Amino acid sequence: MIPDARESLPSPGLMPERVYTLPELRYPVTLNAGVELLDRNADGDRGGRPAIHAGERVIAYADLATDVNRLCHGLRSIGLDRGDRVLLRLPNVPEFVVAWLACQKLGIVTVGTMPLLRARELASIATDAGAHAAIVWGGLREELERAQQQAPDLKQLIVAGDAGPGDTTLASLQSGRPARFTAEATSRDEIAMIAYTSGSTGVPKGCVHFHRDILASADSYARHVLTPSPDDRFGGHPTLAFTFGTGGLLVFPLRFGASTVLSGPFTPESMLDTMARQRVTVSFCAPTSYRLMLRVPEMTRRYDLGSLRLGVSAAEPLPAATWREWHETTGVELLDGIGSTEMFHIFVSSVPGRVRPGATGFPVPGYDCRVLDEEGHECPPGQPGLIAIKGPTGCKYWRKPDRQAEYVRWGGWNVTGDVYVQDEDGYLTYQCRSDDMIVSGGYKIPGPEVEHVLDEHPAVAESAVVALPDPTRGFIVKAFVVLKEPRRSSPSLVTELQEHVKRELAPYKYPRAIEFVELLPRTETGKIQRYILRRADVVPYDPGRR
């Protein structure tokens, strides 16, 4: 028997009361995200309107509902049911949206995984989530099959896209099934999805989101900051498996009867081409991607971005220079917004017409925000401190009672580990992270996780990983490595260590810079002094000296 997903959460008494200040955030007790996002449009007067654009394909709400409902019957026919966790491993294709919505209607908990993840990362997520089934894109199955060897409970694969003989496929589950399906009457406080974050230490943490959290993010951030209409087309590159993408490219467009534009892997040219051709009106990208697009020669002459009315920038800080260059080039305001996997989406954001380049902005309507010192006291304006937020979404960890206790210790305030300054006018400006998490091109890379994998290499005695400033990616991963045999240091060993990390972890985590050193600087108690490594004034190992 698969345990009820709700069992793992702390008792209601431990859950700090959540604030619902806006009337639109009060939801009925019975609430299903699939029904609210899909059926409300398909069964209303929007059935014929587009829900998804993907290359040449345009899928109307009514047709999407038929696809989803058939899959609901199919998933149930193979024994999947309310409360089960199902892993999703798909690129940004319509099948992702179909699978996600079908699970929601069935009360199945979706566990999205980023396409770049490797076997060991996938196995630890599948095991932690207790997922017995996965829906996988044919082109991405290999790594998941490797993961199955380490996660034997992950038994059932359902293949979408290219499949082989004998596979259970998405299409075969849908075939011949009825076009209508009555959704499970889920409760608003029932788990809809678990989103994994590697956290600053590299131990995966499952962030739980209820049916109402998903809608609350749309009804606070998207509704108030982006003021969407059914004519909007949401586009961008974040994977649908990352809550930045789940929100921006699935939940928000469907919540407002608008449409989503799905596209293939990011290159600056392909993103610009999609935005121009598909008439995207609201884009979701990381600052690094906006910078890379600005470097495309004759960008505005080659790509007509006339449809774009707003650009959302998140996942890493948006420097004032990038904001200004994008504004001068396109006339469009970028809206910086800080979000996190725990919070589902953006909780502090710039507001159209009131952007101060370089600042993130203001708390999103529905969220309360403070800047706190280490003891939890509020910092006066101008003094940096830890940002803490409280609102309709927030930290609920899957089977991590100690992490949950931390949240309760802060009185129900979500402390993300980011350092902020608030000025007299209320603008919040990002300073840095307070831990070992490296943010590079919007990707989150826990330093200790990279160190752990480097240390597994036979040539390595020990290593320390820090963030090195970089003009394009914000920061890059730099590893300081002590070799067992210092004489082996060579450019080819650098490449070998980089390849080793890329094989074991999502490739974006590899150290773009590696420096061989004799010793790592340590405190008297043996802790590595990362601030010294960040200053990069350590003495590199010189083989000529021995």
Q: Contact residues for ligand 3UK (CB under 6 A)?
A: 197, 242-244, 314-317, 336-341, 345-346, 360, 416-418, 430, 433, 439, 444
Contact assessment for residue 532 and residue 509, using Cβ atoms and an 8 Å cutoff: no
Task: State the residue number with the nearest CB to ligand 3UK.
Answer: 339
How far apart are CB 373 and ligand 3UK at their closest, in Å?
A: 18
- Quote the CA–CA distance of 538 and 50 in Å, as a whole number: 58
Across the beta sheet with 310-313, the strand order is: 57-60, 50-54, 259-262, 233-236, 282-285, 310-313, 334-339, 346-349, 362-363
Q: How far apart are CA 359 and CA 313, in angstroms?
A: 12
Residue 105 or residue 345: which is nearer to ligand 3UK going by CB?
A: 345
Closer residue to ligand 3UK (CB): 58 or 419: 419
Residue type, 132: H
> Minimum distance between the CB of residue 340 and ligand 3UK, rounded to whole angstroms?
4
The nearest distance, CB 124 to ligand 3UK, in angstroms, is: 17
Nearer to ligand 3UK, 340 or 498 (CB): 340
Contacts of 344 (CB under 8 A, 6+ apart): 195, 207, 209, 213, 214, 217, 243, 246, 247, 393
Q: How far is the CB of 430 from ligand 3UK (least distance, A)?
A: 4
Query: Which letter does DSSP use for residue 30 in this model?
Result: B
Which one, 234 or 242, has the nearer CB to ligand 3UK?
Answer: 242
**Pick 184 or 333: Cβ nearer ligand 3UK:** 333
The nearer residue to ligand 3UK, 163 or 338, going by C-beta atoms, is: 338
Give bridge partners of residue 6 from the DSSP assignment: none
Give the dihedral sign, CA 434/437/440/441.
Answer: negative
The distance of closest approach from Cβ of residue 320 to ligand 3UK in the complex, given in angstroms and rounded to an integer, is 13
Q: Is 285 helix (H, G, I), strand (E, B) or coil?
A: strand
Distance between CA 443 and CA 512 in Å, rounded?
A: 14
For 103, 521, 533, the CA distances from 538, given in Å and listed in that order, are 52, 8, 7
Shortest Å, Cβ 297 to ligand 3UK? 28
Other Cβ atoms closer than 10 A to 14: 13
Closest to ligand 3UK by CB, 47 vs 417, is: 417
CB of 385 to ligand 3UK, least distance (A): 14
CA dihedral over 120, 125, 130, 131, signed as positive or negative:
negative
Task: Tell me how crowded residue 543 is: count the other CB atoms within 10 A of its CB.
Answer: 11
CB of 263 to ligand 3UK, least distance (A): 18
Q: Which is nearer to ligand 3UK, 289 or 416 (CB)?
A: 416
CB of 443 to ligand 3UK, least distance (A): 8
CB of 317 to ligand 3UK, least distance (A): 4
* Nearer residue to ligand 3UK within complex by CB, 75 or 445: 445
Nearer Cβ to ligand 3UK (221/541): 221
Show the 3-state SS of 462-498. EEEEEEEEECCCEEEEEEEEEECCHHHCCHHHHHHHH
Q: Which residues of 336-359 are buried (b: 16+ CB within 10 A; e: fewer)?
A: bbbbbbbbbbbbbbbeeeebbbbb
Our CB check for ligand 3UK shows the closer of 100 and 541 to be: 100
Per-residue b or e along 305-315, where b marks 16 or more CB atoms closer than 10 Å to that residue's CB: bebbebbbbbb
Q: CB-wise, 215 or 314, nearer to ligand 3UK?
A: 314
Torsion of CA 436, 382, 363, 306, to 10 degrees: -90
- Alpha-carbon distance of 479 to 511, in angstroms, equals 6
CB of 439 to ligand 3UK, least distance (A): 6
Shortest Å, Cβ 342 to ligand 3UK: 7
Nearest to 397 by CA among 387, 388, 408: 408
Half-sphere CA count of 157, side-chain side, radius 13 A = 23
